[in-house]
Each structure stands twice: as structure tokens, then as C-alpha cells.
Amino acid sequence: MNRINKKRLLCALLTGALALPAVAWAQGQARPKPKAPAKVEEPQEEYTEEEYDAYEKAKGETDIDKRQTALIAFLEKYPQSKLKPYIVSEYQILFFEYQKKKDFEKLAAAAERWLKFAPNDLTAIAFIADAAEKLGQERKFIEYAQKIYAQKPTGDMALMLAQSCRKLGEEAKYLEWVEKTLSDPKYADRLDLRLARMELVDKCTKEKNFAKAAEHAQLVLKALETTKKPDTTSEGDWRKTTTGIKRACHYIIGVNLYDKDKFSEAIQSLERSLAVDPKFDWAHYYIGLSLWRLKKVENNEAPLAFAKAVLLKGEAAPQAKEHLEKIYKALHNDNLTGIEKLYSTAEKELNSQRSAQKSN
């Protein structure tokens, strides 16, 4: 799957609804000044001199860590202060300062402290997600990125979540986020995403988990039915890609059916694999095994399938040759006399299958 440029992660997290008007305001406006009471008999100040002094001291602290502590202390002491919007602006500026210094551990810690006062602050959540990604903390990134997606779902965010889940080996979650990514028109035609399950087919196959591989293969074939050729892909490359996918998926499904002793169904699936690639030796080999288990040997059904696998000279050839000769000897008084005729018939059938495949 193509990677999104994660150097621009924070930009994606803060796009649109996560813009920071308070920061821009704070940077371009004069600081608040305490207002004198309108009337001596009605001293209803918006904030006290003590509050203002505490605010001035906090925002004037040059040490970023001490400034953070002072701003938090202000909120703890004056939770209902009219100066709170200014504190918010100052604290948001802290985020950018930590990010500029690339001090991502302190950035995350500062943002998490802030969430105690504003649990749904998407700006702070976005900075935590960004810091977690930079620090390689995938689970933490997923935790906070999901909170952003819940309020502002985008294909970019879904894709980043899918990539993180894949890093952690969480297949179900990975596919769940791939599906959400595809729901965004921006990614609807991404072939690599639509066929993401093919990676899982390969993974399960290598692990010899054919049942799970077959399950994913079925879904890949279903996705392929509605997947259009990308405009940037040539007809030749598209045909090569889809042929390889179909061959592999039908084969895996066939092997799984064989393992379940469903030999007739296995043959049908394996023949679909050969319909797109008649030279696939393993498909011929498993057809031979299936026919053998169905006791179809008297009319050379199983022997012919094994002979084709031998003639193709692939990885399946040695095993196919061993089975072929075992069956042939059992049918011909324990000798191989005349087996060349069987190979000749197999060669003719292979050529016929190749011709049929080229005409389609």
C-alpha cells in the first residue's frame, strides 16, 4: 500500500475544523488589561489584579516548561477566570513551540495535561497523535487518531489508521480501516486498497493457514468484480495484475477445498485458476490429487493431470512424477511401459488449453 507522507501528519490532523484561531488572535492582539470597576458601589471586576498578575507572570515565563506549569497552575486556581481564553491561547502556542523543538515527549505530555481541563479539545488530541506517530507509539497514535476520526472522518485519517493497524499485525482492524478509507471518494479508485486483502492471502498462505487464506481470497475476487482499471495503468499491466490475482485466489480456494475433502469442488476452483493460466503446475498437481482421491484413474484422469504438472517443469514436477509413476505402475503390472504415450496426450491437452486461453 502506498504510504501517505507522514511528515505532513499534523497538517492533516489540523486541517479545517482543527485550525487554531485563538493562537492567531493571541499573536496579533494586545494583551488584556484589568478593567477598573464602573462604579465604586458595584465592584464587579471581570478579573482581579491578583488574577491578572498571575496571568502576566505565567505568559511572561521564558522557560517553556516553567511556563506550562504556571499556565496549568493558573487554571487550577482560577478555573472560572475571565482570562481563561488568553490562557488557552498561550497554552496552544506551547504546543507549537514543543513541536518546533521536536520535543515530542514533552509535547504529548503537555497536551495530555491540557485534556484534563478540555477532554474534547481536538487541537490537543491532534498534537498527541502527531507526537505518538513521531515516537513510534502506534497504539497511542491509534487511540487518539480514532478520537479525531470520530469527530472529523476523512480518508487521510482512515488510511493512517489502517497503516498503523497493519504495523501491529491487527488484520481485522486493518481491513476495517481500509474499507473506511475507500468510502472517501478521494481513495475510491485506489487499486492497492481495494485489493489490500491480497496481502493477507499471501500472509496466510505462507503460514499454511489455507482456510483463512481462502476466506480472504473470496473477498479479493469479489472486490475485483467491481474494480475498474485505473486510467494510469495500461491494458497490458492491468491484465497481468488481474490474471495473477485470479490465478492465486482460485488456487488457494481450491487447495482449501481439497484439505476439507471436497474434491469435486476443489477441481472446479482449480480449473478456474487454469483458465487464466494453463501453465500453473501446482493447479494441475492438486487436480491430479483430487481426481486420485475420487478414484478416477482407470481412464487416466488423475495420471494426465500429474503428467501435465511434470511437463511444465515447475516446483510441483518431482511430486507429480512420483504420483504419476505410482499410479501408472499400479495399472500396468508394475512397469512404466507406454508412459510416453500418456505424456504425449498430456502435451496435446496443454497446448489446447493454452490456445483456448489466448483466444479469450
CA torsion sign for 59, 60, 65, 66 is negative
Q: Give me the pLDDT at residue 360, please.
A: 62
Q: Give me the pLDDT at residue 282, please.
A: 97
Question: Model confidence over 92-147: pLDDT tens digits?
Answer: 999 999 999 999 999 999 999 999 999 999 999 999 999 999 999 999 999 999 99
Q: How far apart are CA 310 and CA 291, in angstroms?
A: 16
Residue 126: which residues within 8 A CB-CB, separation 6 or more?
10, 13, 14, 18, 144, 148
Q: Give me the pLDDT at residue 325, please.
A: 96
Q: Give me the pLDDT at residue 204, please.
A: 87
Q: Within the chain, what is the greatest distance between any pair of CA atoms?
A: 123
Q: How far apart are CA 21 and CA 26, in angstroms?
A: 9
Domains of the chain are 1-33+47-151 (1.25.40), 278-360 (no CATH)
Report CA-CA distances (Å) from 125 to 25, 87, 96, 263.
21, 18, 13, 55
313: confidence class by pLDDT, cuts 50, 70, 90: very high
Q: Give me the pLDDT at residue 97, please.
A: 95
Residue 36 in this model has a pLDDT that exceeds 80: no
Q: Give me the pLDDT at residue 222, please.
A: 87
Residue 59 in this model has a pLDDT that exceeds 50: yes
Arithmetic mean of pLDDT, 255-284? 96
Residue 230 in this model has a pLDDT that exceeds 90: no
Q: Give me the pLDDT at residue 14, please.
A: 52
- Model confidence, pTM: 0.65
Residue 42's DSSP bridge partners are: 39
Q: Give me the pLDDT at residue 7, please.
A: 46
User: What grid cell was written down for 239?
Assistant: 491484465
Residue 61 in this model has a pLDDT that exceeds 80: yes
Measured CA angle at 207 (ends 242, 250), to 5 deg? 30
Residue 331: which residues within 8 A CB-CB, separation 6 or more?
297, 298, 303
Of 269, 258, 221, the C-alpha closest to 243 is 221
Question: Model confidence over 78-97: pLDDT tens digits?
Answer: 999 999 999 999 999 999 99
Residue 342: which residues within 8 A CB-CB, separation 6 or more?
300, 303, 304, 307, 324, 328
- The residue with greater pLDDT, 233 or 279, is 279
User: What grid cell was written down for 166?
Assistant: 497493519
First and final CA of the chain: distance in angstroms?
31
